[in-house]
């Protein structure tokens, strides 16, 4: 993107924000009813496996579709431009972290692909959480569709999503360890350095996905609720857009990076 196009795009976003702010200020009645609640659809007998969050599914597929469109539109040239150079530099940085953390070269490419996939998905999801959009929250009389009074719903604000990814990392890391070391040596690692520490080793492994997922969930969900409350107090203008950008773009991208970094660290630690 050239400097001229970037300026026009920035001006367009600013004008769109002001127009949406005026529409929101005079047309929509902002309410905090349902804040923190989730739109849950129950089916079958209900219970743990009989619940579904439609917004999580909708936005998850939207993020994946967006990533596919962007990937298809990128064409790498032999002589890179600024954007391609920036992307390649970032990929090289990630690859260097994988090389430093994963001692077995056989599993570096797989680890890189897994960690980078998490970063792209979580990063885009969190960035959407820093942009005014459409959200749906349950209220007493049904559903309340919020138009630009809140940010786009981000899948990473659903603990089920984050915990699923964290469990995937746990399973993949131990699968790689069992293949690299052999099943017997992998099982033996749970009893090291002393067999009496076996319960503690099990607890420490189970604690990984819990901390891995709650860290991301707490930052995304907590930041979203905080900004929504402040937005309600200030009626959308000035400060909310800064806070949306701060939590969605700055904090959101940092949390995506931390999640991917921990993925690399967890896989690498079991391959030593």
Helices (H) and strands (E) in the chain, counts: 9, 4
CB 56 within 8 A of CB 165: no
| Of 120-124, 219-223, 234-238, minimum mean pLDDT range | 234-238
Coil, strand or helix at 151: strand
> Quick one: how far is CA 211 from the chain centroid?
15
Cα dihedral 97, 100, 103, 104 sign: positive
The Cα 121–Cα 57 span in angstroms is 13
Q: What is the pLDDT of residue 83?
A: 74
For residue 193, whether the previous peptide bond is cis, meaning omega lies within 30 degrees of 0, is: yes
Decide if pLDDT at 146 tops 80: no
CB 98 within 8 A of CB 111: yes
CB 137 within 8 A of CB 35: yes
pLDDT tens-place string over residues 75-125 = 777 777 777 788 888 889 999 999 999 998 899 999 999 999 999 999 999
Through-space distance between the first and last CA atoms of the chain, rounded to whole angstroms:
43
Q: What is the pLDDT of residue 36?
A: 63
Q: What is the pLDDT of residue 64?
A: 92
Residue 252 corresponds to which tokens in the numbers above? 């959101």
Residue found under tokens 């469109």: 69
pLDDT-derived band at 237 (thresholds 50, 70, 90) equals: low
Q: What is the pLDDT of residue 209?
A: 92
Please choose, from the candidates 233, 17, 19, 245, the residue with its C-alpha nearest in 3D space to the C-alpha of residue 129.
245
Decide if pLDDT at 151 tops 80: no
pLDDT tens-place string over residues 154-200 = 899 888 899 999 999 999 999 999 999 889 999 988 888 888 889 99
Q: What is the pLDDT of residue 202?
A: 92
Instruction: Tell me which of 245 and 235 has the higher pLDDT.
Output: 245
Indicate the domain borders of the chain: 1-31, 91-271
pLDDT tens-place string over residues 24-58 = 666 655 555 556 667 777 777 767 677 888 888 88
Question: What's the predicted TM-score (pTM) here?
Answer: 0.82
Q: What is the pLDDT of residue 267?
A: 93
The Cα 113–Cα 120 span in angstroms is 11
φ/ψ (deg, to 5) at 48 = -65, -40
pLDDT-derived band at 231 (thresholds 50, 70, 90) equals: low
Q: Is 167 left (phi over 0), alpha (psi -120 to 50) or beta?
A: alpha
Give me the chain's average pLDDT, please.
Answer: 81
């Amino acid at each position: 993107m050239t400097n001229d196009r970037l300026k026009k795009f920035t001006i367009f976003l600013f004008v769109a924000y002001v127009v949406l702010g005026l529409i929101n200020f005079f047309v929509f009645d902002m309410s905090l009813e349902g804040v923190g609640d989730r739109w849950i659809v129950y089916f079958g007998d209900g219970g743990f496996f009989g619940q579904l969050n439609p917004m999580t599914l909708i936005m998850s597929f939207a993020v994946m579709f967006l990533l596919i469109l962007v990937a298809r539109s990128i064409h790498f040239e032999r002589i890179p431009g600024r954007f391609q150079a920036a992307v390649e530099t970032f990929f090289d940085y990630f690859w260097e972290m994988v090389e430093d953390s994963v001692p077995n070269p056989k599993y570096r490419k797989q680890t890189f692909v897994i960690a980078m996939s998490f970063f792209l998905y979580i990063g885009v999801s969190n960035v959407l959480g820093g942009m005014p959009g459409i959200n749906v929250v349950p209220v007493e009389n049904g559903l309340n569709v919020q138009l630009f009074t809140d940010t786009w719903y981000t899948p990473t604000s659903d603990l089920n999503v984050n915990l699923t990814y964290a469990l995937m990392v746990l399973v993949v890391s131990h699968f790689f360890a069992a293949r690299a070391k052999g099943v017997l040596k992998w099982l033996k690692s749970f009893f090291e350095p002393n067999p009496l520490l076996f319960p503690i080793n099990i607890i420490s492994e189970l604690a990984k996905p819990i901390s891995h997922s709650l860290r991301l969930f707490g930052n995304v969900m907590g930041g979203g609720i905080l900004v929504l409350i402040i937005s309600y107090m200030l009626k959308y203008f000035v400060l909310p857009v800064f806070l949306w950008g701060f939590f969605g773009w700055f904090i959101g991208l940092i949390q995506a990076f931390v999640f991917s970094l921990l993925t690399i660290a967890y896989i690498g630690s079991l391959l030593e």
